[in-house]
């Protein structure tokens, strides 16, 4: 099992989610996150004062999948999130040693 974490621009989030849904990929978690990427180094100098509420928002997607689906999901996210500008997002993949549904625990 693998866990995919993808950070994408908020403007592209609906495209990414729609592409995953259309491909039959369900069970993803989506939430808003704030932060700075490496491509936005001048952002700190353009917002005064520097406060967490002034950080740009992104969307974080989390998906747990079988290893055979990994390449397909990563490709869908990458194609759907692409704008052609620096800072489109990031995709990280981690091993999941054990995944158990809560209802299956006795």
Q: How far apart are CA 58 and CA 12, in angstroms?
A: 10
- Give the pLDDT confidence score for residue 41 in this predicted structure: 47
The strand pairing partners of 40, in sequence order, are: none
Residue 24: how many other CB atoms lie within 10 Å: 8
For the segment 24-43, what is each residue's pLDDT rounded down to a tens digit? 998 899 998 876 555 554 44
Give the mean model confidence (pLDDT) for residues 54-67.
85
Q: Per residue in 11-28, pLDDT tens?
A: 899 999 999 999 999 889
Instruction: Give the pLDDT score at 83.
Output: 82
* The model's pTM: 0.76
Sequence-distant (6+) residues with CB within 8 A of 76 are: 16, 19, 20, 23, 25
The topology (CATH level 3) of 2-104 is Alpha-Beta Plaits (3.30.70)
């Amino acid at each position: 099992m693998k866990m995919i974490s993808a950070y994408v621009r908020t403007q592209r989030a609906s495209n990414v989610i729609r592409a995953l849904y259309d491909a039959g990929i369900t069970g993803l978690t989506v939430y808003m996150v704030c932060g700075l990427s490496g491509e936005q180094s001048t952002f700190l100098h353009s917002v005064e004062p520097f406060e967490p509420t002034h950080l740009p928002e992104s969307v974080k997607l989390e998906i747990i999948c079988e290893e055979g689906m990994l390449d397909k999901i990563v490709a869908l996210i990458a194609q759907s999130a692409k704008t052609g500008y620096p800072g489109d997002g990031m995709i990280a993949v981690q091993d999941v040693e054990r995944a158990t549904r809560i209802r299956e625990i006795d």
